[in-house]
């Protein structure tokens, strides 16, 4: 079966509309790794939908997915497009045509709008931001960054202490939409701060998280940062056990994990291993900051963390990384040290 894709726009008398549709189709062609990606317009522009369907049927496509670039479920979606498809299916009985859901109120649109707003805030258009500060003044740069975060990011629903953590994570990632995917268990921030003030260790999955944690602040309450990812014994044990080094490193530190603050910013396997250790009843960390990143196991490990009954701070989905984990820990340390957090 050969599958084709059609990006379907409304169309416009503005000639640039064709260029936009072609640009979107070209991007999808690359992302889908398929030569059978075309664009069509419902009206005003060429080619129209029947013309493209005819062309793709002639190229041997047997399954066709139409992706409408429409925000609203109006007459075009409910009536016009289905009528065209019925007519085309009658012409090409061997061609199976499906229509993807229109865009509608997809939350990812907010990401684009926030990015556009941030561009204005950063550039100072119409006085929105940009105060002529010199790039060599880090204090003013940070101050302006947090002003933008507070102005644009959606922080509703977070307590003051939680906002301090979320803002640090946004600052570290440069992603103003991150607040929409940050998740915390009730009382997680307080549990982490209390543990840090009680001189608990901080366990990390990789060295990148460890080096991102503020030495100046960990020494105040003697919070030792522990990471064994580059330990030769861990490497040998992992090879013998058929485990990843990060998972074995996490297990090797299980005798330090009870009541500890744990930051996992890279490896889903380390988070899964920690959850297995906790399930065994061996340890119960005071807080788990779990932000592993990637497309294999990352989202699943974070979902498992949210179901584990532990105190947690995480980000849903594939986003994450060492910088996010370290920034969350640094925010907790600032609160624990009674520093004014942005």
Q: What dihedral angle (degrees, nearest 10) is formed by the CA atoms of 72, 74, 79, 80?
A: -70
Question: Among all residues, which ones are annotated catalytic?
Answer: 171
How far is it, in rounded angstroms, from Cα 106 to Cα 221? 45
Closest residue by Cα to residue 121 from 95, 83, 158, 152: 152
């Amino acid at each position: 079966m050969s599958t084709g894709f059609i990006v379907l726009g409304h169309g416009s008398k503005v000639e640039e509309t064709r260029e936009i549709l072609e640009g979107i189709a070209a991007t999808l062609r690359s992302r889908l790794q398929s030569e059978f990606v075309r664009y069509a317009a419902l009206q005003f522009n060429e080619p129209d939908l029947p013309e493209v369907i005819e062309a793709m049927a002639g190229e041997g496509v047997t399954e066709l997915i139409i992706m409408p670039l429409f925000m609203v479920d109006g007459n075009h979606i409910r009536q016009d497009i289905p009528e065209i498809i019925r007519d085309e299916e009658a012409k090409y009985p061997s061609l199976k045509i499906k229509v993807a859901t229109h865009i509608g109120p997809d939350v990812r649109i907010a990401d684009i709008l926030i990015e556009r707003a941030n561009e204005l805030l950063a550039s100072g258009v119409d006085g929105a931001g940009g105060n002529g500060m010199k790039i060599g003044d880090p204090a003013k740069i940070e101050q302006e960054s947090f002003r933008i975060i507070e102005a644009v990011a959606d922080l509703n629903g977070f307590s003051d202490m939680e906002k301090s953590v979320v803002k640090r994570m946004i600052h570290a990632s440069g992603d103003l939409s991150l607040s929409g995917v940050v998740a915390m268990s009730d009382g997680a921030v307080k549990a982490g701060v209390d543990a840090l003030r009680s001189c608990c260790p901080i366990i990390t999955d990789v060295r990148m998280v460890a080096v991102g944690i503020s030495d100046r602040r960990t020494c105040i309450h003697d919070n030792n940062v522990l990471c064994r990812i580059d330990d030769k014994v861990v490497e040998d044990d992992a090879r013998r056990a058929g485990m990843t080094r990060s998972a074995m490193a996490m297990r090797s530190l299980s005798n330090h994990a009870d009541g500890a603050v744990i930051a996992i910013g890279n490896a889903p396997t380390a988070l899964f291993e920690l959850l297995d250790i906790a399930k065994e009843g061996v340890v119960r960390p005071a807080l788990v900051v779990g932000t592993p990143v990637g497309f294999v196991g990352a989202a699943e490990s974070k979902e498992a963390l949210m179901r584990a009954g532990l105190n947690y701070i995480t980000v849903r989905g594939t986003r994450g990384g060492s910088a996010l984990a370290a920034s969350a820990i640094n925010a907790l340390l600032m609160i624990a040290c009674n520093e004014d957090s942005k």
